Structure 1
Amino acid sequence: MTPWIQPAADDPFGLHNLPLCATRDGWVGVRAGDLVLNLAAAEEAGLVDAGGAFTGAPNLNRFLAAGRPTWTRVRAQLTDLFTGGVTGTVEQHLHPVDGVALALPFEVADYVDFYSSEQHANNLSAIFRPDAPSLLPNWKSLPIGYHGRAGTVVVSGTDIPRPQGQRKAPDEERPSYGPSRRLDVEAELGFVVGAPSVPSKGAIAVDDFREHVFGAVLVNDWSARDIQAWEYQPLGPFLGKSFATSVSPWVVPLDALEPAKVAAVVQDPPVLPYLAESERYSYDIRCEIRWNGTLVSRPPYAGIYWTPAQQLAHLTANGAWARTGDLYASGTISGDTPEQTGSFIERTWNGAQPVRLDDGMTRSFLLDGDTVTISATGWCTGGAVVGFGEVTGTVVTQV
């Protein structure tokens, strides 16, 4: 039995957060401070009522599919449970977080990655198209994105084998096949669809975002820049992106991020009606990227140009429906300075300005054995912070 100690008000994983997870032991849980409650056991004991969505569930998909009324009810039950004096019945289902082996929190149905940071788009344009306009004509009319590969989304802590593929340096006459020489990261925020859309009703309205999306995770969209550069014209990212995407194990509910809402950037020119939000907001979420333990960047999410509500409306605008477990990501989050960029191609300006790590080594792109950890917190009114935890991965040689 684990004694219950209510987390402090300033704990990033306090009762104002209550992120959900799945474990390698086959049960789903909720975190409160440094403890994780086994939700399957709690539901079987009558402590929470998710309509059976937790009982015997290896991941969160059944609960995600239940929809916002169930999400709201269970969140209120958990808050009451943890604040009303935890009994021995509850304590026997609590586990120290350090002793819980975390798994991919939900089965990913589809994966879409957007390109929604204006600063990131401007930086890449300056690197690759210095004599061309910084943004293509369509960039401020619609959220640009690509359809990724759901089967290679992995949970934080999973090793990342260096991808193989075709690459061609500018001074090479012909392409060659082999391991990527320019392996990179992208710090992103991902949104998890719970309640699916109804195909016969068409697109999800931009103001119905909260009815369909349960919460958010951290994303590292690993990128092989040399493979990507050779293949992406004319159809866009493919093998340079699809080999691995890492996500954090904690799904932070949108309800926990309500106090972190901030006004989104002004869009100019005005968007088309299907993308026009009645309440336009972003979230004050601040990321940190560590390269072999060295803090190299702090990307700020608040300044993202295209909001998650607009992204969801757009990805269903053609009649495609959203499914439970769909994951869509913001695209690389970058700010106005090199120390706020969300990828190493920007941070090192395509390798021309290597960064020095705390061990004295310098890096431009990832070497085998390098570990990248991205963390984030949501900053709320009143001074509280909401923890996302970490998404981490180590590059290994492909066998």
Structure 2
Amino acid sequence: MEGDKLNDFPIENLPYGVFTSPVNETEKHIGVAYGEFVLDLNQISHYFDGPLLKDKQHVFKQESLNAFMGLTKAHWLEARETIQRLIKDNTIKNATDVKRPFIELKSVTMHLPVHIGDYTDFYSSIQHATNVGIMFRSKENALMPNWKHLPVGYHGRSSSIVVSGTPIRRPYGQTLPVEGAAPHFGPCRLMDFELEMGCFVGGPPTALGQRVTAKEAEDRIFGFVLLNDWSARDIQKWEYVPLGPFTAKNLGTTISPWIVTVEALRPFIVDNYPQDPAPFPYLQHNDKFNFDVKLEVDLKPEKSLTYTTISRSNFRHMYWTVKQQLAQQTITGCNLNPGDLLGSGTISGDTPDSYGSMLELSWKGTKPLRLLNGEERKFLQDGDTVVLRGYCDNGSLRIGFGTCEGKLLPALPFEE
């Protein structure tokens, strides 16, 4: 069985996910994606017989990745090496004690891979923050005074995080259509997506009061997913002062189902974004930890068969690295649990076609986007499907994330 180098999931990737299949329709299994197949780790758990995992084989028989993620980086590395060896030497292919260890990827149903206890969404792309600041303040006052001193974030709603393919409803809420007028209650009119990456925290839980500096953070980073932070812009504008995002952000967050590990992304590490002024010592790390992940956003109207690529960006545009985000999360002693999720914030590049939201792409609705089918968009319309894609490619190796997809459904009628 060969993994296709042009496929998202070669042997150098092996991302983790949770699935059901025609063979196990009710029991969720942990697996890794390899080529056009899923390798069922539940079935082959007894093959993890290395010095660290031989007494931890039960973690591969769970219905979520939390137990495995709660081990150490050394355990994760041993698991990766074991899976690669089993594939390369055809141990699993020739095994007589395992039934159907490889299942066709197209036949499985993917689920949230992790029980997500907590979710923090950051605001770490300098171009996105600058664009928003220019729109709502001025070019001279685009960034808030704290922005270059700490990774800004807010506590999101973990209960409304869903796996790719789950539809999202247009929300109802309060808005202020005209400055100085009375607020209005009704369906959101300015519905948006946000192109983000998500980082899953791993390692044993930390104690309340314990800090993790940026230099220590890598042992706590399990892997990455694509993330769409659906946003109701008009609701957000009215409600966010003085405490920040609330119902405009809790209506749904979509993630891709496969968690790509740091080891898989290591060949694509690039220079960190230059930071001026230098951050405080707890936020400093000298090693590179930005990633050359090419990102794309496609949009398809409901009555069209045509997808239009409306954005091409890159994860490398992050001003604050994931290590710095994790350090900021814990500097006050906030405890961590395996399965906690950190969102990067909207990722925008420095050209208009690399912006990571409709707010920026249409510049607050003043520059409508023309789709390939002839329609125009300022913000999302009911029936629109948004697809996020991410991959690394150096010409000889491709590491992909799959897709992060969601369809916007009309608001449910509100009856008083």
TM range (shorter): over 0.9
Quote how far apart the aligned CAs of 1:127 are: 1.0
Q: Which residue of 2 aligns with 1:180?
A: 188
How many angstroms apart in 2 are the aligned matches of 1:53 and 1:184?
A: 41
Residues 203 and 197 (structure 1 numbering): CA distance in 2 closer, same or farther, change over 3 Å?
farther
The answer (yes or no) to whether the contact 1:65–1:194 under 8 Å persists in 2 is yes
- Structure 1: runs of 5+ lacking an equivalent: none
How many angstroms apart in 2 are the aligned matches of 1:137 and 1:224?
A: 26
Q: Which residue of 1 aligns with 2:264?
A: 256
How many angstroms apart in 1 are the aligned matches of 2:221 and 2:171?
A: 32
Moved more, 172-181 or 88-97: 88-97
The 5 A counterparts of 1:219-238 are: 219-238=227-246
Q: Which residue of 1 aligns with 2:402?
A: 389
TM-score, structure 1 normalization = 0.95
The aligned length equals 394
Q: Which residue of 1 aligns with 2:124?
A: 116
Residue 219 of structure 1 aligns to a residue in which SS? strand
Q: Which residue of 1 aligns with 2:64?
A: 59
How many angstroms apart in 2 are the aligned matches of 1:46 and 1:281?
A: 30
How many angstroms apart in 1 are the aligned matches of 2:60 and 2:315?
A: 35
Q: Which residue of 2 aligns with 1:74?
A: 79
Quote how far apart the aligned CAs of 1:53 are: 3.8
Quote how far apart the aligned CAs of 1:132 are: 4.9
Quote how far apart the aligned CAs of 1:221 are: 0.3
Residues 338 and 45 (structure 1 numbering): CA distance in 2 closer, same or farther, change over 3 Å?
same
How many angstroms apart in 1 are the aligned matches of 2:286 and 2:120?
A: 24
The 5 A counterparts of 1:1-399 are: 5-24=1-20, 25-44=27-46, 49=53, 51-85=56-90, 86-89=93-96, 92-130=100-138, 132-171=140-179, 173-199=181-207, 202-292=210-300, 293-380=307-394, 383-399=396-412
The answer (yes or no) to whether the contact 1:67–1:211 under 8 Å persists in 2 is yes
Residues 200 and 126 (structure 1 numbering): CA distance in 2 closer, same or farther, change over 3 Å?
closer
Quote how far apart the aligned CAs of 1:138 are: 0.5
Q: Deviations over 1:241-270 (max 9, x none)?
A: 111100000000111011010001110011
Quote how far apart the aligned CAs of 1:281 are: 2.8
Q: Deviations over 1:160-193 (max 9, x none)?
A: 0111110111356111111100000000011001
Matched residue type, 1:13: F
Matched residue type, 1:16: E
Q: Deviations over 1:97-152 (max 9, x none)?
A: 00010000111010000000110011111111126511111000000000000100
- Structure 2: runs of 5+ lacking an equivalent: 21-26, 301-306
How many angstroms apart in 2 are the aligned matches of 1:46 and 1:280?
A: 31
Residues 157 and 378 (structure 1 numbering): CA distance in 2 closer, same or farther, change over 3 Å?
same
Quote how far apart the aligned CAs of 1:210 are: 2.0
Q: CA RMSD in A?
A: 1.7
